[in-house]
């Protein structure tokens, strides 16, 4: 079957997991994205992986940029079109993934990349049981009524000696005002879905 010129059919085995990871990570370096794909069991070679990213960029689903503080590596993110297409396919996000995604400044990009590093280190050490990113936390709050008191950077489950430890992760790379910290503390005190916190 031929598709109209300028359109593309997304592959469920490779394209969708890549777009899903971009939705979860928000911003991700090329090497991080390749490692995420490898961790999920993808056996795609480097040439195919590079071709896939370029194809998704050429069709307007993926954007790339550089951030001087992060060196020479490209940073990838979903475009509005990529986010809308993923929302349509997934049918599980209760909010728009596309809202303001690509307008974030460099500090937000760096924050996302550093969170990816934390997740990947835990995965490499075979400690990671589950990582719920902020995008899913917002959706769970709206769809399932779980009502986390704050949109944490992630809710993480680590496995130690056959025991699961779940905590809310708040990654702060810059100093905030006392008022902001007081607000975070109030949210933590009111939280009922998780009992442990890491900041």
- Are 176 and 130 in contact by the 8 Å Cβ rule? The answer is no
| pLDDT tens track for 146-188 | 677 777 889 999 998 889 999 888 888 777 777 877 777 777 6
| pLDDT tens track for 10-47 | 877 888 999 999 989 999 999 999 999 988 887 788 89
In which order are the strands placed within the sheet that holds 75-78? 28-29, 75-78, 62-65
Q: Return the H-helix or E-strand segment holding 78.
A: strand 75-78
CA distance 189 to 30: 38
What are the Cα distances from residue 154, in Å, to 45, 56, 147, 148, 188?
A: 30, 27, 14, 11, 14
User: In sequence order, what are the beta bridge partners of 78?
Assistant: 62
- Are 112 and 120 in contact by the 8 Å Cβ rule? The answer is no
pLDDT of residue 94: 47
Q: Which fold has domain 1-125?
A: Arc Repressor Mutant, subunit A (1.10.10)
Cα 16 versus chain centre, distance: 14
| pLDDT tens track for 76-112 | 999 988 888 888 887 655 444 555 555 668 888 999 9
pTM exceeds 0.95, yes or no: no
Residue intervals of the chain classified under CATH 1.10.10.10 are 1-125
10 Å CB burial of residue 196 (0-12, 13-18, 19+) is exposed
184 φ, ψ (degrees, to nearest 5): -60, -45
- Are 134 and 152 in contact by the 8 Å Cβ rule? The answer is yes
pLDDT of residue 122: 95
């Amino acid at each position: 079957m031929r598709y109209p010129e300028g359109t593309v059919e997304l592959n469920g085995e490779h394209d969708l997991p890549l777009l899903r990871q971009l939705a979860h990570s928000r911003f991700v370096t090329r090497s991080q994205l390749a490692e995420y794909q490898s961790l999920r069991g993808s056996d795609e070679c480097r040439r195919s992986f590079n071709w896939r990213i370029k194809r998704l960029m050429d069709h307007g689903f993926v954007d790339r940029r550089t951030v001087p503080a992060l060196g020479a590596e490209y940073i990838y993110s979903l475009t509005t079109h990529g986010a809308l297409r993923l929302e349509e396919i997934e049918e599980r996000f209760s909010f728009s993934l596309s809202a303001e995604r690509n307008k974030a400044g460099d500090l937000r990009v760096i924050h996302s990349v550093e969170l990816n590093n934390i997740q990947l280190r835990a995965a490499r050490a075979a400690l990671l049981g589950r990582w719920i990113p902020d995008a899913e936390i917002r959706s769970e709050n709206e769809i399932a009524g779980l009502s986390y008191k704050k949109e944490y950077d992630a809710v993480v489950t680590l496995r130690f000696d056959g025991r699961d430890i779940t905590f809310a992760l708040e990654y702060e790379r810059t100093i905030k005002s006392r008022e902001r910290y007081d607000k975070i503390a109030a949210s933590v005190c009111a939280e009922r879905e998780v009992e442990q916190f890491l900041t």
